[in-house]
Amino acid sequence: MRILYLDLDSLRPDHLGCYGYHRTTSPNIDRIAGEGVVFTNYYCSDAPCMPSRTALMSGRFGIHTGVAGHGGTAADMRRDGAIRGFEDRLKRESLPFVLREAGYKTATISTFADRHSAWTFNAGFHEVHNIGENGLESAHQLLPTALKWLEDNGRSDQWFLHLNFWDPHTPYRVPNHYGHPFADEPLPEWLTEEVFESHLQKEGQHSIADMNALAKSHYSKWHRHGKQIESYEDIRQIIDNYDCAIRYMDDHIGKVLSQLEQLGVLEDTAILISADHGENLGELGIYSEHGTADQGTCRIPMIFRWPGGARGVKNEGLYYHLDLASTLADLVGAKHPKRWDGISYADSISGKSDQGRDYLVLTQCAHVCQRSVRFGDWLYIRSYHDGYHGFPKEMLFNLKDDPYEQNDLAKERRDLCKEAVYLLNEWHDDMMATMDCDIDPLWTVMKEGGPLHAEEYRNWRDQ
């Protein structure tokens, strides 16, 4: 089996056609979605970038690996210490190495490890290709390396290629010649003028006020970020630029698919399409950022086209992205490391089952310190450090009626808050009981002064 994993940074599912978006942002992704299983409630366990990808490749929650943030002690994976032998445990427990043991050639084309000094991410890969742009590369810069790798290896029988596009990650860097393909299309219906006016009053990282400041201080060299957001129509700049980035990336994904087709292996190649996290585009008053443990940040796409697997199926179960490691191990007949936290959903790929987890717990410690519980139609968010956003300690949203988190029901539904806290405590007890140490990295972040980006924001604001 050949496996192509498209890791599309900051991609939220509801801006893709296959998830019901009204704009044509993703024709090539949608094509693959029609030939496989689309997961509609798929979440990163730990957000944003570094905790998410650490959990993905290690198959373990951030509370177990120690990686919960972007700086300080909780940005480094816990090491084996005195028990370490000639090799550490990570080498043989990483998803790429498990696939290697099953006979796969494993490669990553990504600048992620370089961008975050996350060298443990590379564990288990035969090949690591870093084009050197530190996560600021556009799709056209990544494409030649991807096509060359496929030209050299694509016809081989067993390989796993992790291909990492960054275009939907702010700042949106689509070349000027690409134009503005969505300039005449309506904005998302929920983002009304009334909602916009309420967001004008908010403060904090990546509020509208902060975005205007960033346009001058950080983003001015990218032409798509030059305009100040002052009126309702100006908010189009953010939404259109994000959607344009997805479309630009999708065009280049189409070229990767064409290369597989020319090699004669497209139909026999498993294609997985997902993300490290989403992108808040107005949720909680935050734009172009992935700094909370909420729906906008933590819900991600998963499109799973497996040769011989189910086709044209939507799966509405609850899943973590770290479940992928166990799933791929089952599908290729490899052994599961005992310390993996993931639960295989291989039966969902074969069409035998669509059962997910009963509930999910999501963690964010890079911009805020939050844990949230996704259960039933509900999302409960508990803030330990609000990142200078002014969030209350508890928030509760009905995602069925209010998917964009406009109406906090925590005060009205104390019963559901209590149920969520019970689930959170149940999860936390299970995690601590299976730890190699007694330290929750969320509290490490708190004790070391708070989330890295929140403190950067505070220092910049107070200058």
Q: Token match 């810069």: residue?
A: 141
The span from the CA of 375 to the CA of 51, in Å, is: 22
Residues 356 and 374 sit within 8 Å (Cβ to Cβ): no
What would you measure as the largest C-alpha separation in the chain, in angstroms? 62
pLDDT at 217: 86
Where residue 407 sits, what CATH number does that domain have?
3.40.720.10
3-state class of 394 per DSSP?
Answer: strand
pLDDT at 221: 85
Residues 390 and 207 sit within 8 Å (Cβ to Cβ): no
What is the tens place of the pLDDT at every residue in 135-179? 999 999 999 999 999 999 999 999 999 999 999 999 999 999 999
Q: pTM higher than 0.75, yes or no?
A: yes
One-character DSSP codes across 87-131: S-HHHHHSHHHHHHHTT-EEEEE-SHHHHHT-GGGGTT-SEEE--
Query: Angle CA(430)–CA(431)–CA(436) in degrees, nearest 5?
Result: 125
Residues 7 and 163 sit within 8 Å (Cβ to Cβ): yes
**What secondary structure, in 3-state letters, does 29-42 show?**
HHHHHCCCEEEEEE
Between the CA atoms of 80, 75, 60 and 421, what dihedral angle is there, to the nearest 10 degrees?
120
Query: Angle CA(162)–CA(163)–CA(164) in degrees, nearest 5?
Result: 115
Q: What is the bridge-based pairing of β-strands 269-274 and 2-8?
A: parallel
Residue 245: domain span: 2-462
What is the tens place of the pLDDT at every residue in 320-369? 999 999 999 999 999 999 999 999 999 999 888 878 999 999 999 999 99
Between the CA atoms of 423, 429, 434 and 438, what dihedral angle is there, to the nearest 10 degrees?
130
Residues 108 and 337 sit within 8 Å (Cβ to Cβ): no
Angle between helices 323-332 and 49-58 (to 10 degrees): 30
Q: What token pair was written down for 281?
A: 């585009």
For the chain, what is the domain count?
1
User: Which residue positions in the chain have pLDDT lower than 70?
Assistant: none
Sign of the C-alpha dihedral, residues 184, 188, 190, 196? negative
Between the CA atoms of 44, 48, 50 and 52, what dihedral angle is there, to the nearest 10 degrees?
0
Helices in 123-235 by DSSP H: which ranges? 139-153, 193-200, 208-217
